[in-house]
Amino acid sequence: MEIGKNIRTRRKKLKMTLEQLALEIGSDTGNLSRIERGQQSLTTDKIAVIAKALNCLPVDLLAEDKSQIQLPPGYIRVPVLDSDQIKNWRKLRNHISHVDISEWLVTDAEISSESFSFEIKDLSMFPDFKIGDRIILDPTLVADAGDFVLAISAMESLIFRKYRARGIDKNGIVLFELFPINEDYEIFYSNSGAIQILGVMVEHRKYHRR
């Protein structure tokens, strides 16, 4: 298994012994040695534990070229998109091979193939969400009370907020507001301007920074 080779390479790069890594992940040197030689399979949870011990992401252990990665069963790739790509995702997603994707996340979440990832850019949802955190969103889901959503405002800016339903107007249209955790940031109301919800958050990845 290529992942075993990548684990060994990463361990050597960090100058960790087999014994040290085995201790970090709660295993023994025999099991770890078999993993590195590709003689023992890994669960998704175990990959995550090893990645944490090696100070990297699980995807970093799966293959050197994330775009051509051969994933274990149950994993899917999710593109990390920039603001312009997200705004045009409905058009671009059917031509993904022609889209310049510089980074991918790998997840075992049960989500649609249309899902994408976004990097938090501001403090509107601080302290729960920090700048640099990544969120995975599924555009096929319908937002419900308490969901975290990414939307585009009437001013064409991306906003990440918590969704709150506010009833139905006389035309049968659902009214809602998108509010921040950080009270210093703006609340957006659907009846005050066109707001399009682009996706509902299904996964949040926090990254520890030294």
pLDDT for 30-72, tens place per residue? 999 999 998 988 888 899 899 989 988 787 787 655 555 567 7
CA 144-150-154 angle, 5° bins: 105
Residues 41 and 85 in one domain: no
Residues 182 and 128 in one domain: yes
Average pLDDT for 196-208: 91
Residue 208: predicted pLDDT: 61
- The burial of 116, by beta-carbon neighbours within 10 Å (0-12 exposed, 13-18 middle, 19 or more buried), is given as buried
Per the structure, how many domains does the chain have?
Answer: 2
CATH value at residue 47: 1.10.260.40
In a domain, 184, yes or no: yes
Tell whether the model's pLDDT for residue 108 goes beyond 90.
Answer: no
The CA-based dihedral angle spanning residues 50, 52, 56, 59, taken in that order and rounded to the nearest 10 degrees: 60
User: Whole-model pTM above 0.75?
Assistant: no
Tell whether the model's pLDDT for residue 12 goes beyond 80.
Answer: yes
Average pLDDT for 181-200: 95
Tell whether the model's pLDDT for residue 179 goes beyond 60.
Answer: yes
Tell whether the model's pLDDT for residue 210 goes beyond 50.
Answer: no
Q: Which domain holds residue 28?
A: 3-62
Residues 31 and 86 in one domain: no
> What would the two tokens of residue 210 be?
């030294």
d(CA 20, CA 185): 45
pLDDT digits (tens, 9 = 90+) for 114-124: 999 999 999 99
Residue 132: predicted pLDDT: 92
